[in-house]
Structure 1
Amino acid sequence: MPSDLEQLLDMGFDGERAKLAAKATGSLQDAIDWLEKNQDSSIDELQAAQVSASTSDEPPALKPGEEAHSLVCEDCGKKFRSQAQAEWHASKTEHTNFAESTEEIKPLTEEEKKQKLAELKEKMAAKKAAQAEQDKIDRKKNEQIRMKQTKETQELKEELQKKEQLKEMQKKKQEKLDEAAARKKVLAKLEADKLERKRKAEAEKAVRAGRAPPPVHEPAMPTSSGPTTSKPASAYTETRLALQTPTGRVMKIFPVETTLFEVAHSLEESGVQVNSFTQNFPKKIFDKTDFGMSLKEAGMVPSAALIIK
């Protein structure tokens, strides 16, 4: 007669699970019940449970020659072939009400085995289908989470790009403003240089003609009552001198309180010996006896052309 293990293998059960079921039970029917009960547990979990369980935790199989008495649990109605199996049930469930039964637990017929197997397979298939459906739901949720994260990441990236673009636009705008200001400054400098060259040319022409150079005009402060006017000589703090020396023409600017002696000393530091200053217009000669006069006192404000002798 085939063993319980062989019958379980013939019924299509997994080899490892069938071995564990045959070892844990004492009959084919109990083995099938055990497989049904533990169908959700993995092989590793079942093996670990058997290793860690004590001998008293295992429902012992019927001993050779032991009569097949039937015991029934009055708490749940489950029937057992032996006293040991009933005690194992009590240790696992804490059921305490058992009674003897004259009903003999008969072995499963082939038809019952097939029906039991079909039921077990149907339950396993239903469980797999439920698990597959749950996996489908979980995948859908995970995909939704992933899509949401991707969208948030893309929105954040676009926001950063917008900020960078705005920053770049502001930078370019500022660069254009700075460039325009620099261009304006250069044009103003060119215009000022042009006016200065014109003024110098007129001053040189006046010196050659023996006339006083034209005064240096500074912009007058605008008033609300009439046109602008030039500042009086007393308002100037500096004077511009066109000095014709034996070695060439020199332009110098001095404070109006500078004395002719200080002007002469400044020229002598450059290697020009000064004995007198001659002004052609109006005609005046300032010798060393006059060197104590300031430029303001000599009437050389705001400008004058002098010939060095």
Structure 2
Amino acid sequence: MDTLLEMGFPKNRAEKALALTGNKGAEAAMEWLLQHSEDPDIDDPLPEGAAEAAAGEGQQPQRVLSEEEKAAKAKELEEKIKLRRKEREEKEKKEAIEKEKRRMESGKQIVDAKRRMEELEMKKIAEERRREKMEDRLARERVKKQIEADKLARRQKFNMDGAAPAASAAAAPAAAAAAPAAQPAETAPKKEYSMTRLQIRLTDGAALTSQFAAKEALAAVRLYVEMNRTDGQGAFTLGTAFPRRVFTAEDYERPLDSLGLVPSAVLIVSKPT
């Protein structure tokens, strides 16, 4: 016990080391203290009965260390403590590096997942645009064919009227001219769109683009802008540039197709005046 105290160890630690090493001497106790110097419970009280066992150490014959031996032991202990501290610091450094690697890998996976979602969304939008263009082209072709059919029908009717008897020759031109007026060419049925694509220009120059159901109320678009705008908070109005129009409170309850915002349109976000 005295040897450990002279080497600078606290009494409670010296007693604990002697008790837990079976009172095998100062060197064994010193080794135990070196191994457990960083334990969080190093200064906790001894277990019941251990203090009495440690007290008996003073009754056992022990070789008294000289001052040189004590200094050498102290230096050896200090070197071992430095080595253990260095090993612990290196271990903590490696663990921190591994933790940072895992964090970076997790962040990379999140970025990759977001990029894939954006790519899928862009492909979906591109496919929708191609479908809309194809539908518009087919509609124009149907109208063109209908016009050609009407022209052919009028030419055939005119030729038939020209072959009538001479007595009705004077009335034929008037009848031929009245026939087209009486039977106007059939126009292609108006296409019913179920979706509309809106581009919304914010006050800072940025733009939001999204699709909405044609029967959705304009209020749904307003809510979308409030949740996704990047130009700050505050009151705003929606309107169109061509024709110039600012939507009123009643307009927000009307469906998009009734406001002329189908199949696509550009909306302008502006601050209320």
Q: State the TM bucket, normalised to the shorter chain.
A: 0.3 to 0.5
More helix by share: 2
What TM-score do the two structures reach when normalised by structure 1? 0.41
Greater RCO (Cα-Cα under 8 Å, separation 6 or more) = 2
Q: Which has the larger radius of gyration?
A: 1
